[in-house]
Chain A
């Protein structure tokens, strides 16, 4: 007989972050992630090639529109490489937020019939975007090589930046996934929000493009540090430490609030979803 004792009580609001229970179910996070990755390109003729085709197409269109026609400056880097390095982080962020926020509603059958910490669902849903990120990163390296740009020591910063963006995706994603369970409005809000968000993030333009008097505003955007940081890490341009620092603080705050909100909402999911 297992000596494990479980005590079930009505929900209370004093719940902490509850990571120990999540740790017990870490294998489930892995298995859900593998499931999503395996299923993603099933029954498609081109398979994983889509992970290359999509960002490359977007890069071509942006180069034509913003690089050639609008002549947006790119800090002295060829525009295609410039915009692709920005899209790398941005695509991870936007895809991560979108799949996270829909993840709970999409698993409603499981939520009402099986017990496991619900956080497993949004956490594992981010993994698919991670695969696309890795594929894109290699495409970027190929693109850089074709323009004769060599990576510098700054590329070593990448793991830190990835950690940062994962924290901000999860912080916002957990909150959105929990609130979408109760208010389905957010299924319409999120795609819309993500679309606008890209234009207030230096993806298609450099931070230096913003008039100096307004530049402080952009540091409140928690994605700026990761997008501009990754660009510098790959292309060897000067690093904006202020942006990274500000994004880090805001992302951590978002993460703590997201987890708290999720934990408080978690137990009523089965009754609402």
Chain B
């Protein structure tokens, strides 16, 4: 059983600047008194989790859903004792192991066999436990042939399979899994999901974060929807997932962008509308690979800006494949309304699930704003077009233009 009572978590903003501070700054600060520091602190703190109250019965599986930055991963880190809560208390009954990232702790120079013992120990297994489950782990991962090869020579698929296999055989009372399944191929994903269903079915508790509503629905009995660090809705899976999906689907692309916009140009540039292939309201857009993709953004600048470039980018599994600017050289803009027009040439992708990101960068003072996961663009191939390597994609240019309205 897990019980969270009024859990809050605060982070400092500007990680690199504030936290990686040097000894000299700290010395200066302590000599000048704490006054300066506290003034900055007021503004540069933000609450990643706000007053989370939850109860998870043992043997139930809980899904965590929400937009990027809603606090899902922070909650998992607090639960796994990686980072402490700022306020509140969590009571956990039973042993827990968490898998926040596949393969953290693997040593590339060591063989598969040695890494099983290393990673198993990191995940909290004793050497005897590991010895007992060794064959199962190897079997499940399918790496018998390569047990004595250093894992740095493994294919990325084998690497991930081995890591997941070890974590899955820890057999804790509570298994916490972040969105680790996104890394593998479909076959691997299904296998992992199956394993987690086994774990959940055997009376253990699984806490699972995913953006994939299908996985959440098939695995979890209850779902928590987090939004900006608070619990927006909690209840039966079907109910919460459909409420969440409605909120995503029924919003316009511009609303979704506004929700995930971040950066220090945030309050200067407002996205008025965003149309993908002429539509602005559907989250998933399906495009044939023989057609180009058109994205039109209307935006407003509240300040005159020197040297501004608006751009869009397409990601696949977190890797940026193409970026298109609306002007070759950043141009200055006055206050007012503008329209940026982006075109991704046809034939670049085959059967890809792409994620659209959009934003702007002002290069004089190095200010920016950026929104990811604004929409999904699914490319479907007609017939058998030749596949194109990633390098070709990166080196080809899309077209972008801007006009003042």
Contacts and interface: CB of A to CB of B under 8 A. Distances in A.
A143 to B, nearest CB: 33
Q: How large is the interface on B (under 10, 10 to 19, 20 to 34, 35 or more residues)?
A: 35 or more
B87 A10 contact: yes
Nearest to A111: B82
Interface residues of A, number: 38
B150 to A, nearest CB: 8
Contacts of B91: 5-8
A115 interface: yes
A272 B19 contact: yes
Nearest to B22: A185
SS of A interface (majority) = mixed
A270 B80 CA distance: 12
A185 B89 CA distance: 35
Given A113-B104, A268-B84, A184 B89 contact: no
A11 to B, nearest CB: 5
B105 interface: yes
Interface stretch (A34-42, A58-66, A241-249): A34-42
B122 A110 contact: yes
Interface stretch (B95-103, B238-246, B366-374): B95-103
Interface string A234-273: 0000000000000000000000000000000001101110
A1 B94 contact: yes
B84 A114 contact: no
Nearest to A7: B91
B83 interface: yes
A31 B122 CA distance: 9
Q: Which of B86, B101, B121 has the most CB of A within 10 A?
A: B121
A183 interface: yes
A183 to B, nearest CB: 4
Given A2-B173, A110-B122, A270-B77, A10 B95 contact: no
A126 B156 CA distance: 32
Contacts of B96: 6
Nearest to B86: A10
Nearest to A28: B121
A39 B122 CA distance: 17
B189 interface: no
A110 B110 contact: no
B84 A27 contact: no
Interface in A155-199: 182-186
Contacts of A114: 80, 82, 98, 100, 104-105, 122-123
Interface in A102-144: 109-116
Given A27-B121, A114-B100, A2 B82 contact: no
Nearest to B125: A27
Nearest to B2: A6
B11 A27 contact: no
B263 to A, nearest CB: 22
Nearest to B96: A6
Given A2-B173, A7-B91, A185-B23, A115 B80 contact: yes
Contacts of A10: 84-88
A5 B95 CA distance: 8
A116 B87 contact: no
Contacts of B22: 183-185
Nearest to A188: B23
B116 to A, nearest CB: 11
A9 B122 contact: no
Most chain B C-beta atoms within 10 Å of own C-beta, residue among A116, A185, A186, A271: A271
A186 B86 CA distance: 28
A115 B87 contact: no
B295 to A, nearest CB: 35
Contact of B92 (A6, A42, A111): A6
A4 B83 contact: no
A-B complex: 8 closest residue pairs judged by Cβ atoms: A8-B90, A185-B23, A113-B104, A6-B92, A183-B23, A31-B121, A270-B83, A115-B81
Interface of B: 11-12, 19-24, 26, 58, 77-96, 98, 100-101, 104-105, 107, 109-110, 114, 117-118, 121-124, 126-127, 173
Interface of A: 1-11, 27-28, 31-32, 35, 38-39, 42-43, 109-116, 182-186, 267-268, 270-272
11 contacts: A1-B173, A2-B95, A5-B93, A6-B93, A31-B117, A111-B82, A113-B100, A116-B124, A182-B19, A183-B22, A185-B22
